[in-house]
Structure 1
Amino acid sequence: MRIGTLSTRTGLSRDSLRFYEKRGLLQARRSANGYRDYPEEAVQWLGYVRTAQQLGFTLAEIAADLPRLIQGVDAGPALRATLSRKLADIDARITALQALRGDLAIRLAETPESGIDCPLRPAA
């Protein structure tokens, strides 16, 4: 299918499709006139890519892991391991953000209304 059709069926812009192709996440054959020709499976594949992005996976992670996981005969254990790693990464980021929020709240509480003292001074 041509890029316009794929764009319509996936809701992704043509520029996004070209970007995914440039990153190796999408493959198209070139017809004799130079037009991109995408296989029917590209619609489903792009659905996987978008879902993975919504779950917090980077494009590099998607490129490295998803093809192997989706095409694997017994991909369940590998997929569980990948999702567990991502969940641990998110938990670590939440912990770091909570610490950052606490630090900002303390500095805000210590800053007088006049704003004379800068809240970005080093903590005591």
Structure 2
Amino acid sequence: MRIGELAAQSGLTTDTIRFYEKLGLVAGARLANGYRDFPPETVPWLHYVRTAQALGFSLAEIAWHGEELRDAPDSAAALSALFADKITVIDARIAELAALRAELTARARTDCPLRPTT
């Protein structure tokens, strides 16, 4: 299917699809007239990419793990492992943000919030 049809079916813009193609997330063959031709299975893959992004995965992470997950015999187990790793990263970030919040709260109550604390 051409890029315009893929965009319509996936709900993405043609610019987004071109960007994803540049990153290696999707691949379209070039027809003799120069148009891109994408296989039908690209539509569900693009939905997967958008869902993964909504779950906090970067495009680089999706590109890095995407092919192995699509081809894995037990992709559910592989996805669960990736999710567990992502949860660990999120928990660490939450702890960092909680510490930052506590620091800001403490400093907000001082005469000069930017002065080093003792």
Category of TM-score, reference length = shorter chain: over 0.9
**Which piece of structure 1 moves more, 19-28 or 70-79?**
70-79
Question: Shift of the alpha carbon at 1:74?
Answer: 1.8
Q: 1:6 Cα shift?
A: 1.1
Shift, 1:72, TM fit: 1.3
Return the letter of the residue paired with 2:39. Answer: P
Partner of 1:114: none
Larger Rg: 1
Q: Deviation at 1:121?
A: 2.3
- For structure 1, the residue ranges without an aligned partner over 5 or more in a row are 112-116
**Structure 1 stretches of at least 4 aligned residues deviating more than 6 Å after TM superposition:** none
Instruction: Measure, in 1, the Cα distance between the counterparts of 2:116 and 2:12.
Output: 46
User: 1:76 Cα shift?
Assistant: 2.7
Q: Identify the residue that residue 44 of structure 2 maps to in structure 1.
A: 44
User: In the alignment, what sits opposite 1:62?
Assistant: 62
2:114 aligned residue: 120
1:1-124 superposed matches below 5 A: 1-111=1-111, 117=112, 119-124=113-118
Higher relative contact order (CA 8 A, sep 6+): 2
Aligned length: 118
1: CA distance, partners of 2:97 / 2:41: 39
Greater alpha carbon shift after TM alignment, 102-111 vs 84-93: 102-111
C-alpha distance in 2 between matches for 1:121 and 1:39: 60
Shift of 1:75: 2.1
1:91 partner SS: helix
Task: Give the match's secondary structure for 1:76.
Answer: helix
Percent identity over the alignment is 53
SS in 2 for 1:110: coil
For 2:5, the aligned partner's letter is T
Structural RMSD (CA): 1.2
TM-score in terms of structure 1 length: 0.89
